[in-house]
A and B are shown apart, each in its own frame.
Chain A
Amino acid sequence: MSLLHKNNESYLPKRRRRFNFKNWRRNWYKFSRNPLPVLGLVLVILIILLAILAPWVAPYPQHAGKFINLKERFQPPSAAHWCGTDAMGRDILSRILFGYRISLLLGIVVLSISVPIGLTFGLLGGYYKDTFVETVCMRITDIFLAVPPLILAMAVASVLKPSLQNSMLAISLMWWPWYSRLIYGVVSGVRNEFFVQSAEVIGASRLHILLRELLPQTISPLFTKITLDMGFAILVGASLSFVGLGAQPPTPDLGTMVSEGSKFLPEQWWMSVFPALAIVLVVLAFNFVGDGLRDLFSLEQV
């Protein structure tokens, strides 16, 4: 009698949707045990909303582009201009909100490029450990890692015309090897576990093993790193534009704003300080969320 002989008499229940509701509650509990991740999450959501709605929320949306009003230049923070005005008379708060758009866009683009590349290299390098494939993947990774990151980004950005797009490209180039390393670490550790060998013995294709068995193991460190990296990518982008290699004026970019405003320190302090605080805020917010995610994915029994 075959093991798989269909039992015609028994009533087999129809397919049920997996309810994850209980899981969501428990995950939230783990995430929110510390107040900081919750605060971070609130801030992140707030910043994203502000950035999306900037054209409607900013008090002076037209100041975000070409605009000159020399009568209003160098105004300190006031009721009309919460963060003051800059050398061109543009409202700094509005420019900050539009600057968030650029920063978040940069973060998303950089991660969208570097994560898939790093994932591929890391997955292949980790699975094909001790073979030629691993050597190729990981040595290429090492080459990119060996160059000091900011220098690499600057070199690329200065070879190409300085612009937002090119700075995003440059940052992606120096960002992906960290993902490669991370994924490689996870995958090469898990690669010899029994469930992977089971899949091999059963006869699963290599593609299946890579995507369905190994990749899910990387989800938790991957998402934690992605969240933390949003903040850091924004910071690197700001650093690049601080030295003039990122978005060009009149585009409102937080790093450029800090750079321009630094010439006028300390009298017109608001021109540098507020954009800098804006950077700090978004980086911190993502950091807190990343911490919370790390707690969430930890295996400890609550």
Chain B
Amino acid sequence: MEILLEVRDLFTSYGIYEGRLKVLDGVNLAVPLGEKIGLVGETGCGKTTTMKSILRILPPGGRVDSGQILFKGRDLLKASGGEIQGIYGSGISMIFQDPTAALDPVFTVGDQLVAVIRYGSRVPMSLREARERAVAALKEVQMPDPKRILSNYPVQLSGGMRQRVCIAMALATEPELLIADEPTTSLDVTIQAQILRLLYFLVGRRNTSVIFITHSLGVVREMADKVNVMYAGTIVECGSTEEIFSHPLHPYTIDLLAAMPRLSGGGLEERVPGRIPDYLNLPVGCRFQPRCVKAQLRCSLEKPKLTEVRPGHYVACFLED
């Protein structure tokens, strides 16, 4: 099983007026070829920071302190600007959370799609051919009447249709890795279901690897083969979807699942009250320890590392020793 992207011991921080926010605390992530990996966590856990570190689009004040990000064996953090440019679009592509913000409102859909296709293609392409490809891309994302859509502005489309355009743009360059950051959070439920199904089908057909970032456990269960649960800048649990949902081991994962309201009745349990940690005053030792029901003395002194506890199921917790 070949690993397409591997993140090793990533430490990222942001500098603000009060000090330095040490957000990412040794993130370890692996995306095998052709697999869909879910990255789940609540707001502020660092999933967007991880993504921005991978793509080197951290805002001013943010920097990667240490670690490696290996894409097809090459460390992205050490690559030059030119090399990174070559990787974006054709190697790695992105879908953002808010399709309205991701599309430029003053250009037509066609302009933007054609631009992506032309600049992303490895061989020079004529305008006409790019337009034909754009129409084909829109057909693929099941847009009705693609030719007319090309001359529409984003504001004329509904939220779901805009997201389809973004998906078409992201996949038009045939990337090997797709990063989808909460692609359906801003959409209605019935539209969300359709978009997710479409995405699932498209990446399956192309055998694209996907990192699916979301805070919704239900969505990740439908979309991902493997799940990484993130808390306060570290991966606390990682394993196949089936395994994580049937045998959650880390106290945080268990808390998350207990808190979810269930269609069958139940859920909405709050085991330990707590907030996301204050990144200026982080506890020594396990970052989840202040909220952990089962914390022991050791947890406040040392940081647990991800260890394989069941086959293919990794947990960062001392309980499993």
Contacts and interface: CB of A to CB of B under 8 A. Distances in A.
Instruction: Please tell me whether chains A and B touch each other in their complex, using a CB distance cut-off of 8 A.
Output: yes
Interface of A: 26, 29, 301-302
The 5 closest A-B pairs by CB, nearest first: A302-B17, A26-B17, A301-B16, A302-B16, A29-B17
5 contacts: A26-B17, A29-B17, A301-B16, A302-B16, A302-B17
Contacts of A302: 16-17
Contacts, number: 5
Interface in B5-60: 16-17
A302 B14 CA distance: 11
A29 B16 CA distance: 12
A301 B16 CA distance: 7
B172 to A, nearest CB: 34
Contacts of B16: 301-302
Interface residues of B, number: 2
Nearest to A25: B17
A26 B16 CA distance: 11
A29 B17 CA distance: 8
B18 to A, nearest CB: 8
Contacts of B17: 26, 29, 302
B58 to A, nearest CB: 14
A301 B15 CA distance: 10
Nearest to B14: A301
Contacts of A26: 17
A302 B17 CA distance: 5
A233 B17 CA distance: 36
B318 to A, nearest CB: 35
Nearest to A26: B17
A301 B60 CA distance: 11
B280 to A, nearest CB: 13
B266 to A, nearest CB: 28
A29 B18 CA distance: 11
A90 B17 CA distance: 53
A224 to B, nearest CB: 21
A301 B21 CA distance: 13
A26 B19 CA distance: 12
Nearest to A22: B18
A302 B60 CA distance: 10
A125 to B, nearest CB: 28
Nearest to A301: B16
B60 to A, nearest CB: 10
B43 to A, nearest CB: 16
Interface centre among A26, A29, A302 (most CB of B within 10 A): A302
Nearest to A30: B17
Interface string B159-175: 00000000000000000
Nearest to A302: B17
Interface centre among A26, A29, A301 (most CB of B within 10 A): A301
A257 B96 CA distance: 61
A298 to B, nearest CB: 13
A42 B239 CA distance: 61
B188 to A, nearest CB: 21
Interface in B132-157: none
